Homo-oligomer: A and B are copies of this chain.
Amino acid sequence: MNIAVLGTGSVGQALAGRLAGLGHQVVMGTRDVAATLTRTTPDGWGNPAIGTWAAANPQIKLVTYAEAAAFSDGIIVHAMNGHAAIDALHQAGEANLAGKILIDITNPLDFSKGFPPSLFVSNTDSLGEQIQAAFPALKVVKSLNTMSNPIMINPAAVPGDHTVFVNGNDADAKVAVAELLKSFGWTDANIFDLGDITASRGVEMVLPLWVRIYGKTQTPFFNFNINFAPKG
């Protein structure tokens, strides 16, 4: 497939690299290609800056949000900072988005008061819902936002069963996203369909727990599993 990844941070890099490795044609969308390519200072986690990463991954071209969305033949991965998420889609342009599937990994994290972050939308609304409401012709499927990026693209990075949630209004889009997740190594048993796009509230509101667990353990190499009792 021709897949667009919006966002050039560590999540975008992980997804773009994994998708290219699976044989897809992948472009990364960014606000200002030239400016993005000048970045060479690793982030606080030791992840390479996008300029460094792009040089090492020449098969993945950096383009504008609009070019990226136009390039996609069906799937767009939204791997941006939550604050910029909706604006980037406006820049991508409704015509380039319409009818396509958006895998929404964004989280409405507000670090303006430091760590741990709060959420800038939650409880009675969610970023996933705001994106869907702003772009009704886009098929938004929230997924992968409840874990760190090494686990998103390689569930075997954590032992045993653990869960990836999907939710959205379009059943076929959720099936297509589940297929992509399975190509990353996720199994049907561990892909949990939470329902429509309003379930984004649930998966986004788990972030405050995620960051507390991270704060205590100082490792992002964990994921949530749901253990069910056997059916009686």
User: Looking at the complex, which one of B124, B161, B194, B232 makes contact with A213 (CB distance below 8 Å)?
Assistant: B194
Copies of this chain per assembly: 2
Contact pattern, A 205-232, Cβ under 8 Å of B = 1, otherwise 0: 1101111110111010111111111111
30 contacting pairs across A/B (C-beta < 8 A):
A116-B202, A122-B122, A122-B123, A123-B208, A158-B227, A158-B229, A159-B229, A159-B230, A161-B227, A192-B216, A193-B216, A194-B213, A194-B216, A195-B215, A201-B208, A202-B208, A202-B212, A205-B205, A205-B206, A205-B208, A205-B209, A206-B209, A217-B228, A221-B228, A222-B226, A222-B227, A223-B226, A224-B224, A224-B225, A224-B227
Whether A225 touches B225, Cβ cut-off 8 Å, given contacts A122-B122, A123-B123, A208-B205, is: yes
Contacts of A122 in B (CB 8 A): 122-123, 205
Contacts of A222 in B (CB 8 A): 226-229
Is A199 interfacial (CB 8 A cutoff)? Answer: yes
Q: Please measure, in the bound complex, the distance between the C-alpha atom of A30 and the C-alpha atom of B164, giving whole angstroms.
A: 41
Q: Give A167 Cβ to nearest chain B Cβ, in Å.
A: 8
Is A119 interfacial (CB 8 A cutoff)? Answer: yes
Q: B228 contacts A158, CB within 8 Å?
A: yes
Whether A199 touches B228, Cβ cut-off 8 Å, given contacts A118-B124, A119-B123, A205-B205, is: no
Q: A223 contacts B227, CB within 8 Å?
A: yes
Q: Please measure, in the bound complex, the distance between the C-alpha atom of A162 and the C-alpha atom of B226, giving whole angstroms.
A: 8
Give the residue name and chain of the B residue nearest to A199 (CB). B212
Is A157 interfacial (CB 8 A cutoff)? Answer: yes
Q: Give A205 Cβ to nearest chain B Cβ, in Å.
A: 4
Contacts of A192 in B (CB 8 A): 213, 216
Q: Please measure, in the bound complex, the distance between the C-alpha atom of A38 and the C-alpha atom of B160, giving whole angstroms.
A: 49
Contacts of A195 in B (CB 8 A): 212, 215-216
